[in-house]
Amino acid sequence: MPTTTLHTGHVGLNVSDLDRSLAFYRDILGFVLLAEGAQEERRYAFLGDGDSDRPALTLWQQAGKSYEEAAAGLHHLAFSADSVERVREYESALRAHGVTFAHEGVVAHSEGADSGGLFFHDPDGTRLEIFVGHGVKGAPAPHESAPTCGFF
């Protein structure tokens, strides 16, 4: 067995409409388009953070229907921000584009936690989180005994 610790390289999401999803992840969340495949049956987009040419997220237009919460597979995708102020900037941008939140505004990960964030869905219904590790002390926790990111 290898002794190297694995790290997440990138996340690939199946989407039903690449143009719609690309606009969401690029224009609202700020990802940078690195490469795009335009062949009709093989459309995709590689997205990065703008600091390197390494993809962080790939979108594959091959879903026939929206995300299913009850199906096995991806539970949610969480993005880390560097400050609670930055999380609130994302909240404003998401609200301006009519995104519906699972909880009202920035919430704590658990009762009394200093970490927390926003919980919402992308255009295909994939559950997303933008969180920060500190700075939300005193924010409400939607679930008394379970992690907020576990049930939304």
Tokens of 147: 């992690």
CA dist 108 and 39 (Å) reads 43
Catalytic residue status for 129: yes
Q: How many CA atoms lie within 13 A of 127 on its CB side?
A: 16
User: Rounded to whole angstroms, how far apart are CA atoms 56 and 16?
Assistant: 19
Residue of 40, 85, 104, 129 marked catalytic? 129
User: Taking the CA atoms of the chain, what radius of gyration do you get in angstroms?
Assistant: 16
- Least Cα distance to 130 among 69, 82, 98 occurs for 82
Q: Which residues are catalytic?
A: 129
